[in-house]
Chains A and B, each alone.
Chain A
Amino acid sequence: MQILQYLINGIALGSVYALIATGFSLIFNVLKFSNFSHGALMTLSAFSGYFIAAGNGWGLVPTILVSVLTGAAVSLFGEFVAFRRILTHNTSPVYFFVSSITLGTLYEGIVVLKVGANFYNYPRFFGKPYRIAGLFVARSDIIIFCISAAALLLLAYMIRKTKTGRALRSVSFDRDTASLMGINVTRTIQFAFIVSGALAGLAGVFLGINYTLYPTMGSIVVKGFIASVIGGLGSLPGAIIGAMLLGILETTLISIIGSGYAPVFTFVIMLVFLLVRPRGIAGSNIQEKA
């Protein structure tokens, strides 16, 4: 019974990690660099949801919308100021890395300017948890899981079945050749940033609902990295599987050994994966025949 309870708590946490990991993987796939501004973008979006919507007494849906839109818009802006020139000049990818860290610091700085070091809480959007057959199921967890699942399914459909998704996949493989097929590479990359930013906004709101809002909450993006590594860096289904596993594992570990030691174990697990199966659960190597 206890195990089931861990599982239920873990699934909601895992779905937030999945949102973070997929948003992060999306950019990794397209531009082959780790976007370290993703966490700070999440913070910025969650806070704008607070100040524009939730703080003014608006409900859950407007708060989510404001955060998602902010995430998408700021991400698009970030692509233009921090990454566009590096991309068009084919400079070394290490600049992406530096640029994304700088951008993340900027976002976080903006949040600190507004809120200082204070903690904020979204108003309570939800009533008491349900009690089903001796198990507690928080209403927020159900909503978080359903919306995350819907967002991820939509993303999977878009990537696999639509023209835009195909363009995105071909741009991830080879930008020059994709442009020779008539694909507008700049637009496609902008699109990836919009989707990634929207996912960051959604994840930010959900983190804010389950925990609190504070300027450095973006550091939780590390969990998204871990999930991507466990799942297979660059693989979206892998990121989702990795995130779910991580969520469930973490809640279980926290209950068993306490929140002090739990992070140690999650990092140990990531290291084990890197040692034993560095390409992750779903990662595959497609080798080109010469």
Chain B
Amino acid sequence: MPLLETKDLWVNYDFVEALKNVSIQADEGEIYSIIGSNGAGKTTLLRTISGLVKPKSGYVEFMGEKLPSKPHKIVQKGIVHVPEGRKTFSGLTIEDNLLVGAHLHKDMEESLETQYQCFPILRERRHQFAGTLSGGEQQMLAIARGLMSRPRIMLLDEPSLGLAPLIVNEVFDLIKRIRDMGITIFVVEQNARKALSICDKACVLENGVVTVCGTGSDLLESDVVRRAYLGA
């Protein structure tokens, strides 16, 4: 049984169809990436899974069970969404940002310690406002904040957006480390080459329709994908 499965998702924004009949399956412990150009519906797909957007029809199953509809209930099930543009709470301190991430848990101190060990820079700056961090540090904070909820699945929306190439590599290394911790990763990326090279499975979203699916290496070698997304 797949860990996360979307079944015939249709999503509309007013009269624009953003997702058409999207059915994908992600297994436990893998990195699943969705690639596609601007406006293909990648972010909409993540927002539908995390409950921020309601599908017109179709639904999402997690461990064979239909997900509840409210976002905070979905987090409770073990699915955390790290949104596009990081969306850290800029006027809250770094520590408060992390603690908000652990809203559903009682023993916050322990999770906090784990994240500080993982991200020493965050400990150093814990009393600063999150808005004072650099883009890369904010991405780290957003991911650490997501981990505070102790998820089974992490949905990552454009984690490399606007970051310097060196930092992009760091972020992707981090994603692999999180996968190795046993957390399934669902990542949406415009940086197709990078995403395909680290993922186990991937699919291509085009105008709201899934066109190709396969393993990361299959897609890296596929002519269609190479021409359209890798510029080769």
Segment of B23-31, B74-82, B189-197 in the binding face: B74-82
Which residues 177-203 of A sit at the B interface, judged by CB distance below 8 A?
A: 177-185
Segment of A51-59, A166-174, A250-258 in the binding face: A166-174
B101 surroundings in chain A (CB, below 8 A): 181
**CA–CA, A185 to B50, complex, Å?**
15
A286 touching B91, Cβ below 8 Å: yes
A173 touching B89, Cβ below 8 Å: yes
B149 surroundings in chain A (CB, below 8 A): 181-182
Interface 1/0 per residue, A251-290 and B, CB below 8 Å: 0000000000000000000000000000000000011111
A174 touching B103, Cβ below 8 Å: no
B162 touching A170, Cβ below 8 Å: no
A177 touching B83, Cβ below 8 Å: yes
**CA–CA, A183 to B129, complex, Å?**
21
**11 additional contacts (CB under 8 A) given A173-B90, A178-B100:** A167-B103, A169-B92, A169-B96, A180-B50, A181-B72, A182-B75, A182-B149, A184-B72, A286-B91, A286-B131, A290-B162
A183 surroundings in chain B (CB, below 8 A): 72, 100, 103
B104 touching A170, Cβ below 8 Å: no
**CA–CA, A128 to B129, complex, Å?**
50
Q: Is the interface of A mostly helix, strand, loop or mixed?
A: helix
Q: How far apart are B156's CB and chain A's nearest CB, in angstroms? A: 12
**CA–CA, A221 to B41, complex, Å?**
47
> At the interface, yes or no: B201 with Cβ under 8 Å from chain A?
no
Q: How far apart are B127's CB and chain A's nearest CB, in angstroms? A: 13
Considering residues A166, A181, A184, A289, which has the most beta carbons from chain B within 10 angstroms of its beta carbon?
A: A181
A177 surroundings in chain B (CB, below 8 A): 83, 87, 89
Which residues 121-151 of B sit at the A interface, judged by CB distance below 8 A?
A: 129, 131-135, 138, 145, 149
**CA–CA, A246 to B83, complex, Å?**
43
Interface residues on B, range: 20 to 34
Listed in ascending order, the chain A residues whose CB lies under 8 Å from chain B are 163, 166-167, 169-170, 173-174, 176-185, 286-290
B135 surroundings in chain A (CB, below 8 A): 289-290
What residue of chain B has the Cβ atom nearest to residue A176's Cβ? Answer: B52
> At the interface, yes or no: B178 with Cβ under 8 Å from chain A?
no
A176 touching B91, Cβ below 8 Å: no
B133 surroundings in chain A (CB, below 8 A): 289
B131 surroundings in chain A (CB, below 8 A): 286-289
> At the interface, yes or no: B99 with Cβ under 8 Å from chain A?
yes
Q: How far apart are B202's CB and chain A's nearest CB, in angstroms? A: 24
Q: How far apart are B128's CB and chain A's nearest CB, in angstroms? A: 11
B50 touching A166, Cβ below 8 Å: no
In-complex Cβ contact of A185 among B72, B92, B162 (8 A): B72
> At the interface, yes or no: B68 with Cβ under 8 Å from chain A?
no
Q: List 22 A-B contacts (CB under 8 A).
A: A166-B96, A167-B103, A169-B92, A170-B89, A173-B90, A173-B92, A174-B89, A176-B71, A177-B83, A177-B87, A179-B51, A179-B71, A179-B72, A180-B80, A181-B101, A181-B149, A182-B72, A183-B103, A184-B72, A288-B90, A288-B131, A289-B135
B81 touching A180, Cβ below 8 Å: yes
B83 touching A180, Cβ below 8 Å: yes
Q: How far apart are B96's CB and chain A's nearest CB, in angstroms? A: 6
**CA–CA, A166 to B135, complex, Å?**
23
B96 surroundings in chain A (CB, below 8 A): 166, 169-170
In-complex Cβ contact of A289 among B71, B83, B89, B134 (8 A): B134
A181 touching B134, Cβ below 8 Å: no
**CA–CA, A179 to B96, complex, Å?**
15
What residue of chain A has the Cβ atom nearest to residue B101's Cβ? Answer: A181
B72 touching A169, Cβ below 8 Å: no
A169 touching B52, Cβ below 8 Å: no
A178 surroundings in chain B (CB, below 8 A): 100
